[in-house]
Chains A and B, each alone.
Chain A
């Protein structure tokens, strides 16, 4: 059972990635972006919950008309230096008003969580073996911030409006 941090709690993941469903019985599936674009019509009519997984170069604008159907967006981080996901998340939340689960997945670590949360991520799938209890403390690193940001579960004091 995969665990992740969601809304600042450790929970069991009730979603599966498409390649984790050999039997076809899962009812909450996350598709790679390319597959979603190719098979969009078919999946639209499918009777489960749908998520889409974006790589760093996948344009979030391509999902603009999909949010009635897509309830989760997972954004990949290939390492700490990968920073495009922060902008992708910010655009999903602010420009496209996406309100579903926004999940950071890949090589993310504790010390990034504060920034990620401030960009609108509310779910964090850390690499296997990461200590999620320790990771949870990251949300308390700062009680203040200069920028207005999308704070899901993090609401620091700020001065600028």
Chain B
């Protein structure tokens, strides 16, 4: 994992001092509320329903156990004892006081962490595939490039006051596990006909009120041109993106307005004019960064039969919550934050500490956060899996539901968020209560359920196989349901609304009816999403909204 040198450390320390002074000036009445707002947002500090919410950056989802323990300490000392992992691999705390934030940032800086650019109209945390570096299908580890881009984007003088927030995701495998097609920029490491590795560049994806899948504007960008090309895209956006309407300010709106082809021409023209004066690729500097991501000292092991004689519960967990590793004898292990007893993505201070212990013992002292709000031990010896399972089970982090209906993405919703129209955590609970039969969940197979409490779509509902969107109807909570969306792989798509929204109490019932249609229509081995693609939404619409035709 990347380690700060003196320059990195000094920058983060100076940022803490700067924010401490800004907070002091605000509290002393020397800085107007509006001016402070723009400054605190650049440090991930929102004012929410109950208290300030502090979002802490977890660059491309990678955490050391030292950092995890610090997050546990912050949860304990400054929050009500827990944190919430987000869809952009960050963690947020819902209960710190404004006055304590400079102290929290100082503690974070002591473990090489910060909250820089976790909100505000600037380049946000650069995210990556959570299986980066261990996935068998990967062309190249994207994380050195994430770090390279992270440094470039940090306090970038020209691009810190963009029309709107800006999100970049980088992946190194075709099976896109970072939802890169719904990012402002998605970068895919690809190989060209000459055998060189470079980037496919997508622009203009995004969710929110106007969901869009990104467009490829360059099929192959040589690696050494990455920063100059990013600067060209950002400059076109900074100058041409709309600033008159916050809801039309994302780059996707600009790309749509001028058309992807014209946008590509604008970027290429800007790149031609600026590439010589843009930051130049420095091979030595990149090599310095890359050296931090060399694989850990794997033992030479064989794949083992782990299942014989083990309890069914372990076998289920193995099947659902562990993934193939590129190194023989190892598995990647999901730490599921989706137990029915917790709001999706939440974790307590004691659990954070215990996860850190387990990672030290079993996974080279590193933990990853995933974009679907779980944690991951990337490098666990197969022979340790049974012990790891038992340990995780003790603290309720081993529900064997990864990839199933109850491994849902869920925003904090109206319970915490000042933007939300409806609650989402109680809906998650309702769904968990209804679908508590694991055998049924396994029979349903891979289903991505994603839920947002408002159209800002933090819960990515548009790209859920099943999406749930909370809406406010005359002060009541209603939920609109979409099916057929997908964030991953070559065929990312937006879901379609199946019909009128349903009241709070009927959400799980409606999901149940949708699944009944799937079960009766599916072909042998067909996933939910594939059935939807094959038969379209009509059969679902007909049977979900016509009680007489309900499946028994």
Contacts and interface: CB of A to CB of B under 8 A. Distances in A.
Interface in B484-529: none
Contact of A161 (B160, B274, B280): B280
B157 A109 contact: no
A90 B158 contact: yes
Interface stretch (B6-14, B60-68, B70-78, B462-470): B6-14
Contact of B157 (A147, A157, A159): A147
A48 interface: no
B157 A141 contact: no
Contacts of A84: 238-239, 243
A143 interface: yes
Given A86-B160, A145-B155, 5 more contacts: A83-B160, A87-B239, A141-B17, A146-B155, A159-B7
Contact of B151 (A87, A142, A149, A160): A160
A146 B151 CA distance: 6
B11 A146 contact: yes
A115 B157 contact: yes
A12 interface: no
A68 interface: no
Contacts, number: 105
A145 B274 CA distance: 21
Given A94-B277, A143-B10, A81 B243 contact: yes
A95 B160 contact: no
Nearest to A78: B243
Contact of B161 (A83, A91, A95, A144): A83
B443 interface: no
Contacts of B157: 86, 90, 114-116, 118-119, 145, 147, 149
What band does the interface of chain A fall in when counting residues whose beta carbon is under 8 Å from B? 35 or more
Contacts of A116: 157
A11 interface: no
A148 interface: yes
A9 interface: no
Interface residues of B, number: 37
15 contacts: A83-B121, A83-B162, A86-B157, A88-B239, A90-B158, A115-B155, A119-B157, A141-B14, A143-B14, A146-B154, A146-B156, A147-B152, A149-B157, A160-B152, A160-B285
A111 interface: yes
B279 interface: yes
B235 interface: yes
A125 B363 CA distance: 55
A86 B162 CA distance: 10
B282 interface: yes
Contacts of B34: 80
B437 interface: no
A95 B239 CA distance: 15
Nearest to A57: B239
Interface of B: 5, 7, 10-11, 14-15, 17-18, 22, 34-35, 38-39, 121, 151-152, 154-163, 235, 238-239, 243, 273-274, 277, 279-280, 282, 285
A109 B35 contact: yes
B164 to A, nearest CB: 10
A82 interface: yes
Contacts of A157: 7, 10
B146 to A, nearest CB: 14
A88 B157 CA distance: 12
B161 A111 contact: no
A148 B242 CA distance: 28
A21 to B, nearest CB: 31
Contacts of B280: 161
Given A86-B161, A143-B10, A148 B279 contact: yes
A151 to B, nearest CB: 9
Given A80-B35, A141-B14, A160-B279, A147 B162 contact: no
* A88, A94, A141, A147 — most chain B CB neighbours (10 Å): A147
B161 A159 contact: no
Contacts of A94: 274, 277
A119 B156 CA distance: 10
A109 B160 CA distance: 15
A114 B15 CA distance: 12
Interface string A52-74: 00001000000000000000000
A103 to B, nearest CB: 17
Given A87-B235, A95-B273, A95-B277, A142 B39 contact: no
B161 A82 contact: yes
A147 B156 contact: yes
A159 B287 CA distance: 13
